[in-house]
Chain A
């Protein structure tokens, strides 16, 4: 008998250890309203997170004792009455310190399609922590507008952690005035468009293309093989960008596009998205009305967080508030920072919503995220709490559950 026990005890200890680690990998988030995706909302719900991903979602009746998943793990985040949203995605991230140092631009020549913004990424920079505090867990670090073909933007979950995911996001092209230079081609928008047309034409021609690494980048984008983001501001720039989308059957989105309101039917026809500059009450009337027009035309749009506050980091809450104040549907406004950028980057099966199987990247708010009085209480990235407020929300603060 003793001998038998001697063999059984280590097994028992091992199984206990394993079950405990399994429980540790789990996390239950119990809160009030949960915005699962753009249109799906639970009035009161719980989320089960396992191995960094959303394992299950349940709606609660609110009766005492109706606590699904609570028995599965001791790890719980309980914010009764708080609002849970997917964490934000910054689809066109240009940290100003990096941009100022010229890390995101090749100054000697306009065409740098093989460049990758990931090379400029420093996981230990303090700005990423600050970004997490604003609810942003996924960024597309982009080359700036100074190069005609700036290279690849990189999608990154920033921060010094083993949990970060990385990949190539989109090919960044630019037709803005920042590209023009008296010291090197192109000197005009005419020339800029011509150089891009030539590149796409050569990429289509196998004899020209050969093993040319630069042309292979353009070839990969032809026919929607790769997402392309074209920065353009004025009407001629937008028209030229749309011509390129049409001629080469590209897939992707316009960036900035301040005057997109004049080309809505064509944008809709080409099935491309628009990435807008962040909003504030100081934005021009045109910029403030543009999201409404895009929503009416059913064109997918997202906001970039490009250089917004003093630290140059996005305050998406402010953009949300401004957009909703202009009359945009709050769910649509929230989608423009979560699910829409994810689908524009084609990573919607990973992030951007809280549906089953997605990465557990979420924000917990004291109230509606589009309400300036609401506070961000907690940020979870890949199932781990990466930032949490020290103070508990006051009882009288506006609650999501009304």
Chain B
């Protein structure tokens, strides 16, 4: 056969393969044979999942039609795609905050996220399909977060933007701020606050200003920052208060009472000190990196914090946060199991619970009819160290795993 003919044949074969793979994406998919974790309870055998047009159409005993693409997942474990409630995916490390001011409520983090960043691929490889990216902790009020899918077409990635406001307590917002008395007079870093007390005063001042506007009769159109703070006061915007140390957790609860805020406690490394107060307040907790040994604000993390929260009946989710020593989300969940938490609760704390806290439970976080088909097939039990995602699907498309390769 001459070279040209060979080339034609090869290109024809390639085109056929392309058509075949393209067509397969459109077909309904049935995953059968796996042990399934739907978002609560444990793993169940004998459940199949049918996916049509990127959504879960049926869960249970599903008989695949002849036109369906069947994925035989015998011996594998199927879970919803993991939801990470606090990350810095796609944000350059020096640009997580606008540091020329300490109170920047109107800033939207979606403006700076690089969707091509390899950090998203890393998250996908570890089974995370939805991530909440929030502004960094160097501002007292950092701005509005964004909730994204970690894979799939760029245009379809953004799930929600501006649904949560990040407020940081503790020493981080004042870190590196020079008090005017000793700093260079022209430096940008002569900003307030310089202490923990100053940080809390800045939060109070911002909310008092918004309340003053709210209670004034003759008023002008509010500026964008005030609009966000008013939305937070009305409970339309979720207020994520980062509080790691015991005193900061107590302060967060005090501030919530003072302004009538519905808050989510973020970080909460020393939550074991304030269990009763947290239980009484009823706010959910986002526990950052239970594996971490070194946390800012002088907080001391304990391995059994998650177990204690679960015993008290406090709703909590596990997240990776943004420390350089953080582990993949699933391994952080595994650490809480080491601290005494049940496997089911640990898995729920990285799937259905964070989705519920972030207000996206109608889209992701569980395997239920009508939700996005964001699924992960694991080689073994997800919480055992040797397991890895064999295939990750986002909206029914395989974005990571053997089938992709």
Measured CA separation A236–B109 after assembly (Å): 10
With A194-B104, A194-B106 known as contacts, the answer to whether A243 contacts B155 (CB < 8 A) is no
> Chain A nearest CB: distance from B91 CB in Å?
9
User: Are the CB atoms of B112 and A190 closer together than 8 Å?
Assistant: yes
One of A186, A193, A259 near B100 (C-beta < 8 A): A186
User: Are the CB atoms of B109 and A190 closer together than 8 Å?
Assistant: yes
Given A186-B100, A190-B108, A194-B107, 4 other A-B contacts at CB below 8 A? A188-B94, A190-B97, A194-B108, A197-B106
User: Are the CB atoms of A239 and B188 closer together than 8 Å?
Assistant: no
One of B97, B110, B220, B221 near A188 (C-beta < 8 A): B97
Most buried by A among B95, B114, B154: B95
User: Are the CB atoms of A185 and B100 closer together than 8 Å?
Assistant: yes
Q: Residue-by-residue, is A169-183 near B (CB-CB < 8 Å gives 1, otherwise 0)? A: 000000000001011
| Cβ-closest 10 pairs across A and B | A191-B98, A185-B100, A188-B95, A193-B111, A189-B112, A240-B111, A187-B99, A194-B107, A190-B107, A190-B98
Q: Give the size of the chain B interface in residues (CB under 8 angstroms).
A: 32
Q: B residues within 8 A CB of A190?
A: 95-98, 104, 107-109, 111-112, 135, 143
Tell me what chain B mostly uses at the interface: helix, strand, loop, or mixed: loop
User: Are the CB atoms of B221 and A197 closer together than 8 Å?
Assistant: no
With A191-B104, A194-B98 known as contacts, the answer to whether A207 contacts B220 (CB < 8 A) is yes
Q: B residues within 8 A CB of A191?
A: 98-101, 104, 107
- Asked if B116 is at the interface of the complex by the 8 Å CB criterion, the answer is yes
With A188-B97, A198-B106, A201-B224 known as contacts, the answer to whether A234 contacts B114 (CB < 8 A) is yes
- Asked if B73 is at the interface of the complex by the 8 Å CB criterion, the answer is no
In A193-208, which residues have CB < 8 Å from any B CB?
193-194, 197-198, 201-202, 205, 207-208
What are 15 A-B pairs with beta-carbon distances under 8 A? A180-B95, A184-B188, A185-B188, A186-B100, A188-B95, A188-B97, A189-B111, A189-B112, A190-B95, A190-B96, A190-B111, A194-B106, A202-B223, A205-B221, A236-B113
Q: B residues within 8 A CB of A194?
A: 98, 104, 106-108, 111, 143, 224
Q: A residues within 8 A CB of B188?
A: 182-185, 187
User: Are the CB atoms of B115 and A235 closer together than 8 Å?
Assistant: yes
> Chain B nearest CB: distance from A399 CB in Å?
36
One of A185, A205, A236, A263 near B112 (C-beta < 8 A): A236
Seen from chain A, the residues whose Cβ lies within 8 Å of a Cβ on chain B are 180, 182-191, 193-194, 197-198, 201-202, 205, 207-208, 234-236, 239-240, 243, 259, 262-263, 265-266
User: Are the CB atoms of A207 and B98 closer together than 8 Å?
Assistant: no
> Chain B nearest CB: distance from A257 CB in Å?
15
Q: A residues within 8 A CB of B110?
A: 239
Q: B residues within 8 A CB of A198?
A: 106, 223-224
Measured CA separation A191–B109 after assembly (Å): 10
Name the residue on B nearest A198 (C-beta): B224
User: Are the CB atoms of B99 and A188 closer together than 8 Å?
Assistant: yes
Most buried by A among B113, B135, B143: B113
Q: A residues within 8 A CB of B107?
A: 190-191, 193-194
Measured CA separation A186–B96 after assembly (Å): 12
Q: A residues within 8 A CB of B143?
A: 190, 194
Name the residue on A nearest B100 (C-beta): A185
> Chain B nearest CB: distance from A183 CB in Å?
6
Name the residue on B nearest A188 (C-beta): B95
Q: Residue-by-residue, is B176-188 near A (CB-CB < 8 Å gives 1, otherwise 0)? A: 0000000000111
> Chain A nearest CB: distance from B99 CB in Å?
5
In B59-113, which residues have CB < 8 Å from any A CB?
90, 94-101, 104, 106-113
Name the residue on B nearest A263 (C-beta): B154
